[in-house]
Amino acid sequence: MAETVRCVRGILCNFRSFLHTEMLLALLVLHVVSPFYNTAAVEILRPRGVSLLHKPFYDESKPFTCLDGSATIPFDQVNDDYCDCKDGTDEPGTAACPNMKYYCSNKGFTPKTIPSSRVNDGICDCCDGTDEYSGLILCEDKCREMGAVELEQRRKQAEVINKGFQMRQNLVADGKQVRQDREAKLNALKEEKQVEETKKQEAQAAKEAAEAPEKEAVDKHKKAWEEVKAARELEKQKEAGTAAFAELDLDGDGLIKLEEFQTHLEFDDDVDGEVTEEEAKTHLGDVTEVDLDRFLTESWPKIKDLYQGEKDKAKAPPAEEPTKGDTDEPPSEDPVPPPTDEEEEREEEEEEERFEEDDNDDEVEDEDDDDDLDDDLDDDYPDEEEEPDVDMTKDEAKPDEDEMPEYDEETKQLIAAADQARAEYTEANKKVNDIDTQIRQLEKQLGTDFGPESEYSSLDGQCFELETKEYKYKLCPFDKCTQSPKHGGSETTLGRWEKWAGPEENKYIAMKYTKGQNCWNGPDRSTEVRMTCGIENKLLSASEPNRCEYVFDFETPAMCTQEVPTNPEFTHEEL
Ligand code: MAN
C-alpha cells in the first residue's frame, strides 16, 4: 500500500515508514466501508496500476528492480510519485513517469490500460475509479453495472451464434444431401443419355432411310415438271417465232429477205434511222434470206427479245425506245385486247348505265349498284350463281399452269413417311439435348465450391437485395452482383462469381465477384462479399470504397462455425 502515500524523496522518508503500518490499517478500513473508495481487494495484493501479469515483478519483501534492469531501488520507492526507473516501471500507479501505462483491473468488467498521465487528473477513466485516488474527485465503481450490460449483450450474441450454429448443422446436412442427390442424378442421367443416344441414332438411320426414296420421288416429280415447263416454253417460242415470221414475210413467199427485215427499226443498231443491209444480215444470222425452219432455229432465238411485232407496236408507240423491262419480257402469246377498245366499251356501258340510273327509282338503283359490283368482280372471280363459261375456267386454271402439279399418291406417302421419321428424329435429338443441358448444369453445380461442408449450397440459385438511397443492390451467390439505379436506368453487373477470397487459413469468409461491367476509363467492376454469422441470409450493406470496387456485407448461418457458452463470463484476467 506504499503507493497510496505521496512521498517526496528526502522529506517524507521517515513519514513513509511511519505511515506504512498506521495508514495500511486505516485505508484497509476505508476500502471495506466506503462504496466510493474504489480500490478493490486485488489492489491490496499488488501495487496500484500493476496488472496481474506483471505482479510477480513487484514483491514487497525485496528491493525492486526496474523491468528494464536499469536500477534496483528499495521497494518503498515504488509508487512514491518519483520516477526512479528509466522505463518508468517503478511508478505504475502514479503520473510521475512519462509514457507509463496505468492498469485498472475494472473488476466485474473488462480491464483497461490508460496513459499514466491521466492518473489523478480529476477525470474518471477507469470504471472502477482507481485512477482517481487523490481526493480531488470521487469516482463511483461502475464496473459491475457496465459488466452486467456487457454480459447481457454477450449472452444475446451467444444465443444468436448458437442458433446460427444449429441452423448451420441443418445447412450442412442439406448441402451434403443435395450433393449426394446431384451425384446420383448425374449418374442416372449419364445412363439415360446412353439409351437416348442409341434411340437417336436409330431415329437418324430411319430418317435417312425414309428420306432417300422421298428425295428420289420428289426429284423425279420436279424433273418431270421442269421438262413440261421447258416443252411449253419451246412451244410458246415456236408460236411466237412463227407469228413473227408471218409478219416479217411481207410478200408471203415463205422467205424473209433482207429488205423485209430492213423495215423493222428495232434492228437499227446504230440508231441512224435506217436499218442497213449489214445490220439486217447480222440479225438474220449472216444470210440474206431465211425460210421458216431456219428462222425458228437460228434467227428467232437471237432476235426475239429485240423484235417488236405488230401487236407490240400497237401497244407501245414506235417512237419510244424499247425499255429494258420490255425487252426482257418474252412476246405475249395470248395478247390482251387493245386497251383502248376495252376502255371504250366499258366507258360506253357505264355511260348507258348512268343514264338509266337517272331515270330509275331507288330500289332499282340499288340492284344496279349490285350489278356494277358483280361486273367489276367478274374480272377476277366467277359469279357463283352463273355457270362458269369456258374463258372463266381458263382464267381460274391459268395460275395453276405455272404451279407444279400435286405429287402423286405414292410420293405423298413417301413424304409423309419421311416427315414422320424427321419428327421422330427431332424428338429423339431434343431428348438427348435436354439431358445434355441437365448434365452440364449438374456438373457445374458439383464443380462449385459450396464450402468445406457444402454449407453454402442452399445459397445457390437465391438472390438477396438491399436498397440504399441511390441504388438497389443484388447479390446472387455463386452467380453475380448487380446494381440498379432506383430512379431509372439499366442494371449494371458488378461482377460474376469467381472464388472464395478470404485469407488462406480462412478462405470461406469472403467471396470475390469479378469481370463486371467495365468502368468508364477504369477497370471492370468487381465486388468483395464479406460474410458474417447471423440467423438469416441477409445482405446487410453495400459500399463502393474505391470507384467501381464494391464491398457487400452479408450475414448467413453458414458462417456460424462454432458454439459459444450461453452464460458468458469475463476472463480470469478481466476479473
Ligand atoms: C455508375 C455506378 C457507380 C460508379 C460509376 C462509375 O454511376 O456504377 O457505382 O462509380 O458508374 O462511373
> Residue 254 domain-assigned?
yes
CB neighbours of residue 430 within 10 Å: 12
In this structure, the residues whose C-beta lies within 6 A of any atom of ligand 1 are: 483, 492, 519-520, 544, 547-548
With H, G, I as helix, E, B as strand and everything else as coil, classify residue 249. Answer: coil
- Separation of CA 554 and ligand 1 centre (Å): 21
Residues 492 and 538 in one domain: yes
Could you tell which of 547, 550, 551, 552 is best to mutate to test the pocket of ligand 1, judged by most ligand atoms within 8 Å of the CB?
A: 547
- Separation of CA 539 and ligand 1 centre (Å): 20
Last residue of a domain, one of 391, 414, 447: 447
The per-residue pLDDT for 287 is: 87
Residue 565 Cα distances to 200, 496, 532, 536, 556, angstroms = 62, 39, 19, 21, 20
Residues 305 and 413 in one domain: yes
Residues 485 and 443 in one domain: no
> Residue 349 domain-assigned?
no
- Separation of CA 485 and ligand 1 centre (Å): 10
> Residue 243 domain-assigned?
yes
Residues 414 and 530 in one domain: no
Residues 300 and 244 in one domain: yes
Buried b (16+ CB within 10 A) or exposed e, 277-288: eebbbebbbeee
> Residue 440 domain-assigned?
yes
Residue 554, domain CATH: 2.70.130.10
**pLDDT tens-digit readout, 493-536:** 999 999 999 999 999 999 999 999 999 998 999 999 999 999 99
Asked if 502 and 512 touch (Cβ cutoff 8 Å), the reply is: no
Q: Which three cell numbers mark 408?
A: 402423286
> Residue 429 domain-assigned?
yes
Per-residue confidence band for 348, with pLDDT thresholds at 50, 70 and 90? low
- Separation of CA 508 and ligand 1 centre (Å): 28
**pLDDT tens-digit readout, 118-169:** 999 999 999 999 999 999 999 999 999 999 999 999 999 999 999 999 999 9
pLDDT at 270 over 70: yes
- Separation of CA 497 and ligand 1 centre (Å): 20
Q: Which amino acid is at 94?
A: T
Residues 413 and 305 in one domain: yes
Residues 434 and 473 in one domain: no
> Residue 369 domain-assigned?
no
Residues 442 and 465 in one domain: no
The minimum-distance atom of ligand 1 relative to the CA of 550 is: 9
The minimum-distance atom of ligand 1 relative to the CA of 521 is: 12
Last residue of a domain, one of 414, 447, 480: 447
Asked if 557 and 171 touch (Cβ cutoff 8 Å), the reply is: yes
Contacts 24+ apart (CB under 8 A), 12-18: 16/76, 16/80, 17/76
**pLDDT tens-digit readout, 7-61:** 333 333 333 333 333 333 333 333 332 322 334 333 445 799 999 889 999 999 9
> Residue 342 domain-assigned?
no
Distance between CA atoms of residues 274 and 101, nearest Å: 127
pLDDT at 455 over 70: yes
- Residue closest via CA to ligand 1's atom 2 equals 548
- Separation of CA 519 and ligand 1 centre (Å): 7
Last residue of a domain, one of 389, 424, 447: 447
- Separation of CA 549 and ligand 1 centre (Å): 10
Q: What mean pLDDT do residues 341-347 have?
A: 51
Residues 219 and 302 in one domain: yes
Q: What percent of the chain has pLDDT over 90?
A: 68
Residues 428 and 490 in one domain: no
Residues 420 and 540 in one domain: no
Distance between CA atoms of residues 192 and 211, nearest Å: 28
Residues 416 and 465 in one domain: no
Look up the domain containing 463 and give its range: 457-559
Number of structural domains, the chain? 2
Per-residue confidence band for 317, with pLDDT thresholds at 50, 70 and 90? low
Longest dimension (CA), the chain: 169
> Residue 78 domain-assigned?
no
- Residue closest via CA to ligand 1's atom 3 equals 548
- Residue closest via CA to ligand 1's atom 9 equals 548
The per-residue pLDDT for 259 is: 92
The whole-model pTM stands at 0.59
